[in-house]
Amino acid sequence: MAGTRLVGIDLARLAAVAGMMAAHTVLWEEPAPGVVALVDGPPSTLFAVLGGVSVVLAARQRLAAGDRRGAIRSTLARGAVVAVLGVLVAPLATAVFVVLVPFGVSIALAGLLLTLPSWAIAALAAALWAAGGSLAAIARESLPAELVEPEGPGDALLAAAVDVVLTGVYPVVTWLAYLLIGMLLARALLAARARGRERRALAAIGAIGAALIAAGVAASELGLRLVAETVLELPVAAVRDSILMNGYGAAQGAEPAWQLVAAPHTGTPADMARTVGIGLVAIALLGLLATSLPAAALRVLEPLRAAGAAPLTIYVVHVVLLSTLALAEPELSLGWGAWAAQLGIAIAIGAILAVTRSRGPLERLVGAAATRAAGERERPATTPSE
């Protein structure tokens, strides 16, 4: 298994879903600050980065065969199916903000960029990193009344589109940046593996992640002082916790100082530095672990790997189950016990998939749609021999 898959990526996917489970179950009980820092924001953004990794991994065979159009069509189909699943699951998810619609749109957009050189993807990611948070915050403050409370179907459709792209909990304007970073990461890991330097690349990725965390935290401390003193005109100690509250998609204000604050789910440059950094460190550590373990140990971890290879299935099961419990037996949906139960179900699904050597049902659905959309593989044009 280790020779054919990036096992660390599968483990990182499971870590991301497990972290989102914790965000949905544990945060309500006001856990320790360290727990909040790790589960309020970083798991979902790790999920987004890994989505970008998956875009590259899923398309690499077609791209290697020269079938650029097929690779793009298949990725567009993947994004479309994920978004449709989000629309279908959202009415059932009364206890969770479902990420699948903006995630699917971001996958589709990433598919359109699939054949760009890495420098172009990096430039676009940097632009969204720098400006996406400001755009989301400004959009929230300047949203027209007809989009806040739409009256007709036209306004409702436009409001939904604006919500997905700019003003929602997971706005595409910032989430696409995470996927683009994941695409660059996947290209780097595949190139390093081809040269026999995967562990060296993982160590470098971990170091970059640590540097980003430090930069994000340092910038946030400066931002806290600036927001408190120049925007709110209050002592930092009196407003620190309120400034660092979850923004649910955007910073609390459009003033530039807010963009230096690494509050969760704000998409500010500081928030992105911190969350991308945590994601890179997690991917690096799990990748190093997977490349260090002998084959026997990897076989023991196979249920975990298989669960990580079915993140869409496990995420949907978690969201629907948690929302059902929140309505029927609320106490069963909160706390570490609820988290452990949800994670146990995820691992059980992974064990079944590992034993049957199957993919998750929703992964099979997405894969079938992608294959159908891609069609027959195109062959690169060749010059006839004379």
pLDDT class of 384 with cuts at 50, 70, 90: very low
pLDDT confidence of residue 142: 87
pLDDT class of 144 with cuts at 50, 70, 90: confident
Cβ neighbours for 11, distance < 8 A, ≥ 6 positions apart:
286, 289, 290, 301, 304, 305, 308
pLDDT confidence of residue 182: 98
Over 70: is that where the pLDDT of 145 sits? no
What is the mean pLDDT of the segment spanning 146-171? 85
Phi/psi at 109 (nearest 5 deg)?
-65, -40
- State the Cα–Cα distance between residues 55 and 59, nearest whole angstrom: 6
pLDDT confidence of residue 2: 41
pLDDT confidence of residue 293: 92
CB 93 within 8 A of CB 100: no
CB atoms within 10 A of CB 19: 23
pLDDT class of 94 with cuts at 50, 70, 90: confident
Cβ neighbours for 43, distance < 8 A, ≥ 6 positions apart:
15, 16, 17, 18, 19, 20, 22, 23
pLDDT confidence of residue 203: 97
CB 205 within 8 A of CB 276: no
CB 109 within 8 A of CB 79: yes
Over 70: is that where the pLDDT of 3 sits? no
State pLDDT tens for residues 10-41.
Answer: 999 999 999 999 999 998 888 888 899 999 99
Rounded to 5 degrees, what angle do the CA atoms 293, 294, 300 make? 85
Query: By CB neighbour count within 10 A (0-12 exposed, 13-18 middle, 19+ buried), where does 144 fall?
Result: exposed
pLDDT class of 307 with cuts at 50, 70, 90: very high
pLDDT confidence of residue 159: 87
State pLDDT tens for residues 250-269.
Answer: 999 999 999 999 999 999 99
What is the mean pLDDT of the segment spanning 348-364? 96
State pLDDT tens for residues 161-205.
Answer: 999 999 999 999 999 999 999 999 999 999 999 999 999 999 999
pTM of the model as a whole: 0.93
Cβ neighbours for 383, distance < 8 A, ≥ 6 positions apart:
none
